[in-house]
Amino acid sequence: MNRLAAYAGEALEAIWRHRVRSVLTMLGMIIGTASIIGVLGVSRAASGGIAATLASFGDPGIIIAVDPNQDDPQAAQIQYLDLAPLIESTRASVRRIVPLYNATYVLRANGISYETTVSSEDGEPNDTLTLLAGRRIDDDDVASAARVTLLSEPLYHRFFGTAPAIGRVMRIGGSRFRIIGVYNELKSSLLNTIAGGDYIEIPFSTFHEIRPGQVDFIQVFPRAGIAAASNDVIAELRRLHGPRAQYSTQDATAQLAGFNAVLGVIASGLTAIGGVALLVAGIGIMNIMLVSVTERTHEIGLRKAVGASRADIATQFLLEATLLSLIGGGIGMLVGVVCAIAARGALERLLGAAPIPYLLIISVAVGFSVFVGTVFGTYPALRAGRMDPVEALRQ
């Protein structure tokens, strides 16, 4: 260890002695490492932020809707009465089926009118959305088709300002509803894009009472390990509405996995570009170390003459190359982390929380730096170690 510490000190002294040349050599490492760290940090933060954003809505299940491009979409419309036979015939593969409604109504409360989309909710919400006040819709509300509703925070402020809203009456269309809860405002623009800033929920059974007949969509929750659940549901729908009925499916979980895969491919491509910069940096380190070996030929001869072995000489030059790479990689890592932190502000406005995996990117930076220094410093180190001391002293 003492010998390695001595070699490290000599290596740092040599780097400092030729500091301008060393800085120019390290530029490639700085640029390459910064680009890799920046891209890796931003892509991982974005991926984690998107996953956390969508996870806040809970398990999305599989959405099944009527395909509007078929010959007779009206004949294939999913009816509320279809739910009982659907649930009964698909018990083996489906854990739960929930009807979904979305319709535009005029809301009236506190002397204010406003038109927006009203959606349905069941009694088993599986999201992690938080409440500003009140409670969620429960199974009793669904079973009794209660005239109760939850508002988003922007809607609450639109109608009531800062006055309490729980227990107040709101008209949805021509029906009276009692407000039982207010959601906290969504903090990311992506969530607001998905859910809308203004949203209001009522029990799906109540929705059926005020708008009987067809259902807009159904939400299917497969049993664990069952991949054919949507096929079973569609087969039963075709039995009910005819073999020519066509339905579309939307699996949000699979879409998220596909999106993350695309994000990973993009990140890999950009990382490869940074890898080219590291390759160039490695060649530069090898070149400058070969120059250093040539300049210090007489010194190498003297060291060998007083007893230094091939391994000692090679270790000294290899350590110098590695330190050169590590210093450049360390500076590049700092630049990349600063870029990732600067980008995180925009990501958090879009996605909410988007944590940067600092441990991962630091490990990558150190690993790349050691790898480049070791690989591209090996040849100059071996060349220095193989020098004949007599020939070296003659230089």
Residue with tokens 């009794």: 144
Helical spans, DSSP H, in the chain? 2-17, 19-55, 83-89, 139-143, 153-160, 189-195, 204-210, 229-241, 252-295, 297-305, 310-351, 358-385, 389-394
Digit-coded pLDDT (tens) for 62-81? 888 898 888 888 888 999 99
* pLDDT of amino acid 213: 82
The pTM assigned to this predicted structure is 0.61
DSSP label at residue 186: P
What is the edge-to-edge ordering of all strands in the sheet holding 247-251? 94-100, 217-222, 62-66, 247-251
* pLDDT of amino acid 206: 93
* Cβ-Cβ contacts under 8 Å for 116 (sequence gap 6 or more): 104, 105, 107, 155, 196, 198, 199, 200
* pLDDT of amino acid 204: 92
Closest CA to 93 of 249, 224, 218: 224
Q: How far is CA 362 from CA 97, 302, 339, in A?
A: 46, 40, 14
Helix or strand or coil: residue 113?
Answer: strand
For residue 100, what are the β-bridge partners?
217
- pLDDT < 70 positions in the chain: 1-4, 7, 49-59, 186-197, 225-226, 252-253, 255-256, 259-260, 263, 267, 270, 274, 348-354, 390, 392-393, 395
* pLDDT of amino acid 55: 64
* pLDDT of amino acid 182: 92
* pLDDT of amino acid 351: 65
* pLDDT of amino acid 364: 77
Determine the length of the chain: 395
Contact 263, 43 (CB under 8 A): yes
Contact 150, 201 (CB under 8 A): yes
* pLDDT of amino acid 146: 93
* pLDDT of amino acid 280: 81
* pLDDT of amino acid 359: 81
Contact 203, 122 (CB under 8 A): yes
* pLDDT of amino acid 390: 67
